[in-house]
Chain A
């Protein structure tokens, strides 16, 4: 509804107001005349009409003034893009590379997912007024810089889709392991991200990276409820009850992965999804196809040379060539310095040291990891590991 309205008003604030106004009118009218057959369509029509009145009002004001610049057409033309969908236009507007990435995520949450500003602030660990100010600033830039309310032209689509996919992935990650707080998972955020990925998939059915991202999120979603035990304690992949993984979601993800890998050179989301799918297929942690996972990590590292990927690759390496080989890799990453402050580096190192029987050093590394974690569930897990070594 907001997406359909903003196309008329071309102003996010005005569109939001028009939508709220439509709801108010609905409360009054529907109580009197009954609920219409298509309530959604009714609301959208009313909101769009209100927005159009606002636009006309502005136009009249403009005409009354001496003009140096040509006024814009009162009715904006239907934006021509490869995909005629209002929601997607709104997503692409929110994820414009001219906005800071944090603002992109916040706007997508606020305007596309309808998450309250207070909740977004909570997810980003900032006070609500700070987040409200950031969202306002981003909306202002959209208006002032005339960021188009459009899906980019076909030629520009691949570059812009990758921004959108990154934002959706970050949204999911923020829900998958909440950066702070007492709960490990924020199900609301993962559900919204999954909705967005499904929407993108419906609208861009031939984009392999869209298929890859959706597959990746589906596998993570399928395993979400087994990541903690009944008491809310964190369970490692090797300790999770695989029987409780959602087989339906995993099957759907596998279909998407196969499709993505068959149709040309893979992108990073497709490869990540393939790795996740291999984990999901394995009957147990020990029986995981580690050599193939290691190969996929090598491919991934080529596509996306990130130290985080290198760290995950080291874990796979430890299952193929043993913990000593992996420890050398981790030491290399540690001296690289880019992962200073990344809690999974000392946590991984601790596990490898423990497997090598070097428990004193393992304890030291667990303590370092513990210091870097702000999530209560993770802290408890690390503290328990520390005691056990």
Chain B
């Protein structure tokens, strides 16, 4: 199985997420498992205002990259291939935004 990070970008702050969406988040690992994928870890991030960026010695308030959508959470997904990963990631509940699917570097593979 290949590994992917699914990055959830959301314009709605976590405390304002509708209950229905929160419930779907909680049920996501099970839903993905029923599609043959596997969620191996998940992180929900506090809002952008709580972020601190460090660049060299410079410490500044706010996230590293400002976008209209905010990186709200990440989960790790195991899937057969990109098509399977995309099919699983499409199940992520999002109010206003979307998700980004990133393949992870497989450190176990030694290049010839």
Contacts and interface: CB of A to CB of B under 8 A. Distances in A.
Interface of A: 54, 57-58, 61-62, 65, 67-70, 96, 98, 144-148, 150, 152, 156
Given A69-B106, A70-B1, A148 B83 contact: yes
Nearest to A64: B110
Contacts of B4: 145
Given A69-B1, A98-B82, A152-B83, 15 more contacts: A54-B112, A57-B112, A58-B109, A62-B108, A65-B110, A69-B106, A144-B105, A145-B2, A145-B82, A145-B101, A145-B103, A146-B85, A147-B82, A148-B82, A156-B83
A62 B108 CA distance: 7
A146 B2 contact: yes
A61 B109 CA distance: 8
A67 B108 CA distance: 7
Contacts of A98: 82, 86
B100 to A, nearest CB: 11
Nearest to A67: B108
B48 to A, nearest CB: 28
A140 to B, nearest CB: 10
Contacts of B109: 58, 62
B44 to A, nearest CB: 25
A54 B111 CA distance: 12
A147 B80 CA distance: 10
Contacts of A96: 82
B61 interface: no
Interface of B: 1-4, 80-86, 101, 103, 105-106, 108-110, 112
Given A69-B1, A70-B1, A148 B112 contact: no
B81 A58 contact: no
A124 to B, nearest CB: 25
A69 B1 CA distance: 8
B82 A146 contact: yes
A147 B81 contact: yes
10 contacts: A58-B109, A58-B112, A69-B1, A70-B1, A98-B82, A98-B86, A144-B105, A145-B103, A146-B81, A148-B80
B91 to A, nearest CB: 16
Which among B83, B84, B86 has the greatest number of chain A C-beta atoms within 10 A? B83
Nearest to B1: A70
A147 B1 CA distance: 12
A68 B108 contact: yes
Contacts of A144: 103, 105
A150 to B, nearest CB: 8
Contacts of B112: 54, 57-58, 61
Given A145-B103, A146-B2, A146-B103, A69 B82 contact: no
Nearest to B109: A62
Nearest to A152: B83
B82 A61 contact: no
Nearest to B105: A144
Contacts of B101: 145
Contacts of A65: 108, 110
A11 to B, nearest CB: 11
B79 to A, nearest CB: 8
B36 to A, nearest CB: 13
Contacts of B106: 69
Contacts of B2: 145-146
A277 to B, nearest CB: 36
Given A69-B1, A145-B103, A146-B2, A61 B110 contact: yes
- Ordered nearest first, which 9 A-B pairs have the shortest CB separation? A148-B81, A146-B2, A145-B103, A146-B81, A145-B82, A147-B82, A144-B103, A148-B83, A146-B82
Which among B4, B82, B112 has the greatest number of chain A C-beta atoms within 10 A? B82
Contacts of A150: 83
Contacts of A70: 1
Contacts of B81: 146-148
Nearest to B84: A148
Contacts of A57: 112
Nearest to A54: B112
A69 B108 CA distance: 8
A360 B29 CA distance: 69
Nearest to A69: B108
A311 B69 CA distance: 37
